[in-house]
């Protein structure tokens, strides 16, 4: 396997709104090594989620190339790509029905046979007795765990997490973090984690990027990022974030 799970080469992306074209990403270059946990930080609207969406071709770049395990993303067969590169969102959208209905969704899409679906509930700390429960009766934390379990059905080698704990209470946040770290340890899953939470980034990341106005202004190890940032915009972002915590 390639040493780099993800590589971005001169990525740019624009969107049109109200007759205006807005550039949300501008010439992004970066690599994510296999097995890394990359936290992608930055102000709201800076382009963080757009980066994730390009890694499993929910969006395509206007310019530049995205490589997944050494292969340009547009050369992948899309179902195969989305098995390799799983994504979980903040909202944890569910289809009407039971926990089992939701858990089996990716298997049905990819025509896979899952003989023991309860194993995926075990992976995320949900009781197997919950399989026949209606998803409407789940708490926010339980839905987020189910969304992760559903993503894991495909056994992705890369996991994209978009603000998945931002709507949860502090104890549920820690539980989800521990769950992700245990998955990472067991599977050596490469994780790209968009978060607005600096303390979370300190707890879970191995690498950090800062995106400001569509530009990648800082990248490095977690320790480098927090203790010796190079760019003034990073210093300002961290100072503002730490001030908000006090």
What pLDDT score does 243 carry? 60
Give residue for tokens 């979370």.
200
What's the rounded mean pLDDT across residues 163-184?
A: 88
Give the residue among 85, 71, 94, 73 at the shortest CA–CA distance from 13. 73
pLDDT over 60 (residue 45): yes
State the average pLDDT over residues 168-196.
91
Residues 6+ apart with CB under 8 A from 177: 165, 200, 203, 204
The reply to whether CATH 3.40.50.300 applies to domain 35-59+81-245 is yes
Domain ranges for the chain: 35-59+81-245
In this prediction, residue 134 has a pLDDT band, given cuts at 50, 70 and 90, of: very high
- Interacting residues of 71 by C-beta distance below 8 A, sequence separation 6+: none
Please choose, from the candidates 45, 66, 28, the residue with its C-alpha nearest in 3D space to the C-alpha of residue 163: 45
- What value does the mean pLDDT take over residues 46-53? 95
- Report the range out of 93-97, 144-148, 223-227 with the highest average pLDDT: 223-227
Per DSSP bridges, beta strands 85-89 and 37-41 are: unpaired
pLDDT above 70 (res 245): no
The pTM of this model reads 0.90
Q: In the predicted model, what is the mean pLDDT of residues 86-102?
A: 89
Q: What is the mean pLDDT of residues 125-144?
A: 91
Q: What is the pLDDT of residue 1?
A: 45
In percent, how much of the chain has pLDDT > 70?
97
How does residue 108 score in pLDDT terms, banded at 50, 70 and 90? confident
């Amino acid at each position: 396997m390639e040493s780099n799970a993800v590589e971005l080469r001169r990525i740019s992306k624009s969107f049109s709104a109200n007759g205006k074209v807005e550039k949300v990403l501008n010439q992004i270059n970066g690599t994510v090594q296999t097995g890394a946990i990359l936290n992608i930080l930055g102000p709201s609207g800076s382009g963080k989620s757009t980066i994730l969406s390009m890694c499993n071709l929910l969006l395509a770049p206007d310019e530049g190339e995205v490589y997944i395990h050494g292969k340009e993303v547009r050369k992948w067969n899309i179902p195969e790509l989305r098995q390799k590169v799983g994504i979980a969102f903040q909202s944890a959208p569910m289809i009407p029905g039971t926990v089992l209905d939701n858990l089996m969704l990716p298997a049905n899409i990819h025509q896979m046979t899952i003989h023991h679906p309860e194993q995926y509930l075990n992976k995320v700390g949900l009781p197997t007795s919950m399989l026949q429960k209606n998803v409407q009766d789940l708490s926010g934390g339980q839905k987020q765990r189910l969304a992760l379990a559903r993503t894991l059905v495909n056994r992705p080698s890369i996991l994209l997490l978009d603000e998945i704990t931002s709507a949860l209470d502090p104890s549920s946040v820690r539980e989800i973090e521990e769950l992700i770290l245990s998955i990472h340890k067991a599977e050596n899953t490469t994780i790209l984690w968009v978060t607005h939470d600096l303390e979370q980034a300190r707890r879970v990341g191995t690498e950090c990027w800062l995106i400001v106005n569509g530009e990648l202004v800082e990248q490095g190890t977690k320790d480098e990022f927090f203790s010796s940032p190079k760019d003034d915009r990073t210093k300002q972002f961290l100072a503002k974030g730490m001030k908000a915590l006090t």
